[in-house]
């Protein structure tokens, strides 16, 4: 495919749809925006001549070929925009001067979903006949609970093996476990505090009301799995209220968990949502724990500290054989296209790959480049689009021939 203008246009078009989770409606369990994005994507696939299925607004699938199934798992929902944008979050602006497209979802994960669809189209147009049934499955609730995947598994058939273009290159062989914990801290005094939009987004805005005054604290959003890339606005809000004990527990390793580590990395603890009800401050913290660590060890540390908690969401770790066919093939493809010599890596993020018995996350981010996922002014470059297209097309062909 020599002309990438169609891919630029179609990424721009779907980014213009605000598909952050919203009030459920008939046929739209995650809001009208998510349903619109799903309909848009499936209509594009139908135009390309693929068989498609809408799974009741929860997810959709694009089917190519026959035989043993192989999955490409992507998602069309996005996190809320947050603050600090200098480009329209849902503008889908094609910036030819800087050779990029701006907008929420360009990298996570609408851009990669569109690129994967075009890779399938190119293979089909070239006469490629896969020996496996390729299912490009797109969910609508990846960012806030995975109900889309649960529903899909109950009402369709999930392949055992596949990839998810929703993380990093060269290929992810392991992902940390995820625990989202609602914590309760008893407080006294007359004040209000609230901040944060999603458990997996570093809080970039926190508000305190006390003695008739309102204080607003601003930070910088980032993905919950990489809190060090953001600035959490809850921290200065707690300092302003003199809540040093809570600050210590949340931001100074008060639970003693942040020293836990293995080859998948160190445990991260990111308190991203806060509010007060009566005499209790509640905080939802996003915890990413090393893949070989028992979750009971994490929960035990919370219990030993005497802090009330409940689990609001969890995902078990993913730990694949880095020397298996899937991982080695993907790594070889990436190195072949890029001319690099990279090895499989582990991440703290959680992708759809763990919904498969044998799954691996595969791109689009690369080491050393600026990451704007879950941040203001998210963008994807033309170079990234073209590189991912070549990589995904070759990987799909290798794994389904």
pLDDT tens sequence across 29-76? 999 999 999 999 999 999 999 999 999 999 999 999 999 999 999 999
What confidence score (pLDDT) does residue 144 get? 87
**pLDDT band for position 1 (50/70/90)?**
low
pLDDT at 274 over 60: yes
Per-residue pLDDT, averaged over 141-169, amounts to 96
Specify the higher pLDDT residue, 347 or 192.
192
Q: Over the range 63-87, which residues count as b (16 or more CB within 10 Å of their CB) and which as e? A: bbbeeebbbbbbbbbbbbbbeebeb
Q: How far apart are CA 2 and CA 232, in angstroms?
A: 44
Number of alpha helices (DSSP H) and beta strands (DSSP E) in the chain: 9, 23
How does the average pLDDT of the chain come out, rounded? 96
pLDDT score for 232? 98
Angle between helix axes 110-125 and 5-15 (nearest 10 degrees) is 140
Does the pLDDT at position 118 exceed 70? yes
- Tell me the C-alpha distance between 116 and 134, whole Å: 11
Q: What is the mean pLDDT of residues 277-281?
A: 98
pLDDT digits (tens, 9 = 90+) for 243-252: 999 999 999 9
83 or 271: whose pLDDT is higher?
271
Q: Quickly state the pLDDT bin for 174 (edges 50, 70, 90).
A: very high
Position 270 pLDDT exceeds 90: yes
The CA distance from 60 to 27, in Å, is 13
pLDDT of residue 347: 87
**What pLDDT score does 348 carry?**
83
CA distance linking residue 346 with residue 266, whole number of Å: 11
As a whole number, mean pLDDT of residues 170-182 equals 96
Please, which residues bridge with residue 172 across strands?
Answer: 345, 361
Please compute the mean of the pLDDT values over residues 198-202 and round it to a whole number: 93
Q: What is the pLDDT of residue 252?
A: 97
Q: How would residue 2 be classed by pLDDT, with cut points 50, 70 and 90?
A: low
Sheet bearing 177-186, strands edge to edge: 213-218, 205-210, 192-195, 268-277, 280-289, 177-186, 308-315
pLDDT at residue 350 in the model = 82
> What is the rounded distance in angstroms from the CA atom of residue 118 to the CA atom of residue 340?
24
The domains located in the chain, with CATH, are 5-175+317-400 (3.40.630.10), 178-315 (no CATH)
Q: Does the pLDDT value for residue 3 go beyond 90?
A: no
CB atoms within 10 A of CB 182: 16
pLDDT at site 82: 87
For residue 121, name the pLDDT band (cuts at 50, 70, 90): very high
Assess whether pLDDT exceeds 80 at residue 218: yes
Residue 167, pLDDT > 60, answer: yes
| Residue 273, strand partner residues | 284
């Amino acid at each position: 495919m020599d002309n990438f203008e169609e891919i630029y246009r179609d990424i721009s078009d779907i980014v213009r749809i605000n598909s952050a989770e919203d009030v459920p409606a008939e046929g739209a369990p995650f809001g009208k925006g998510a349903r619109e994005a799903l309909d848009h994507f499936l209509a594009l696939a139908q135009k390309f001549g693929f068989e498609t299925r809408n799974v009741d607004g929860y997810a959709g699938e694009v089917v190519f070929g026959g035989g043993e199934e192989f999955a490409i798992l992507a998602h069309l929902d996005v996190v809320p925009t947050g603050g600090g944008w200098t480009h329209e979050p849902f503008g889908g602006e094609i910036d030819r001067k800087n050779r990029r497209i701006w907008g929420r979802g360009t990298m996570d994960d609408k851009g990669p979903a569109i690129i994967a669809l075009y890779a399938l189209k190119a293979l089909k147009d070239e006469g490629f006949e896969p020996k496996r049934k390729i299912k490009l499955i797109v969910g609508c609730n990846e960012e806030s609970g995975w109900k889309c995947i649960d529903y899909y598994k109950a009402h369709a058939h999930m392949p055992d093996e596949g990839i998810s273009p929703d993380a990093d290159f060269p290929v992810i062989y392991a992902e940390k476990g995820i625990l989202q914990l609602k914590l309760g801290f008893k407080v006294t005094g007359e004040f209000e505090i609230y901040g944060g939009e999603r458990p997996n987004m570093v809080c970039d805005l926190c508000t305190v009301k006390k003695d008739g005054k309102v204080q607003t604290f601003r930070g910088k959003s980032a993905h919950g799995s990489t809190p060090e890339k953001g600035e959490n606005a809850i921290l200065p809000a707690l300092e302003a209220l003199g809540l040093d004990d809570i600050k210590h527990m949340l931001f100074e390793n008060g639970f003693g968990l942040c020293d836990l580590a293995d080859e998948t990395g160190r445990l991260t603890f990111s308190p991203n949502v806060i509010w007060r009800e009566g005499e209790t401050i509640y905080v939802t913290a996003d915890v990413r724990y090393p893949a070989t660590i028992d979750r009971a060890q994490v929960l035990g540390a919370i219990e030993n500290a005497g802090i009330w908690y409940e689990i609001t969401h969890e995902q078990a770790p993913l730990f694949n054989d880095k020397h298996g066919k899937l991982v080695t093939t993907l790594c070889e493809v990436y190195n072949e296209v890029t001319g690099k010599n990279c090895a499989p890596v582990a991440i703290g993020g959680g992708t759809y790959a763990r919904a498969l018995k044998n799954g691996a996350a595969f791109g689009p981010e690369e080491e050393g480049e600026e990451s704007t996922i879950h941040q203001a002014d998210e963008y994807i470059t033309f170079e990234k689009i073209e590189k991912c297209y070549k990589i995904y097309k070759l990987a799909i062909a290798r794994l389904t021939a």
